[in-house]
Amino acid sequence: GNSVTQMEGPVTLSEEAFLTINCTYTATGYPSLFWYVQYPGEGLQLLLKATKADDKGSNKGFEATYRKETTSFHLEKGSVQVSDSAVYFCALANYGGSQGNLIFGKGTKLSVKP
């Protein structure tokens, strides 16, 4: 079945460091891919998305490229800020599946120190 695997955290970085959070997926066909962010005590917010191979999603300085050949959708940011501290979830659209519309990774907690 469809699944998402993302790197385990927690990840701790200093302010202005480069961020990469790895995400790989297993799916039939060409699902849309998403990154969500969850700030402390809040629900999930959509950060960015890509709907087809080689698409690059971007938002708030974060980027991720849909790589079909490596079945990956890694999240990157060139210079993180303290305000980026949150939990990040990779997800794919589970079309054709019976378990709701999105399959989530387990989340990666990011802490950015000043």
Residues at the contact surface with another protein, assessed by CB under 8 A: 31-32, 34, 36, 41-46, 49, 89, 93, 95, 98-102, 104-107
| Residue 70 or 98 having the CB closest to another protein | 98
Sequence letter at residue 14: S
Alpha-carbon gap, residue 64 to 34, rounded angstroms? 9
**DSSP character for 10?**
-
| Residue 11 or 17 having the CB closest to another protein | 11
Counts of helices then strands in the chain (DSSP H, E): 0, 12
We find the least distance from the C-beta atom of residue 97 to another protein, in angstroms, to be 9
We find the least distance from the C-beta atom of residue 16 to another protein, in angstroms, to be 29
| Residue 17 or 52 having the CB closest to another protein | 52
Q: Which residues contact 69 (CB under 8 A, 6 or more apart)?
A: none
Alpha-carbon gap, residue 12 to 52, rounded angstroms? 31
| Residue 80 or 87 having the CB closest to another protein | 87
We find the least distance from the C-beta atom of residue 104 to another protein, in angstroms, to be 5
Q: Name the phi and psi angles at 90, rounded to 5.
A: -95, 145
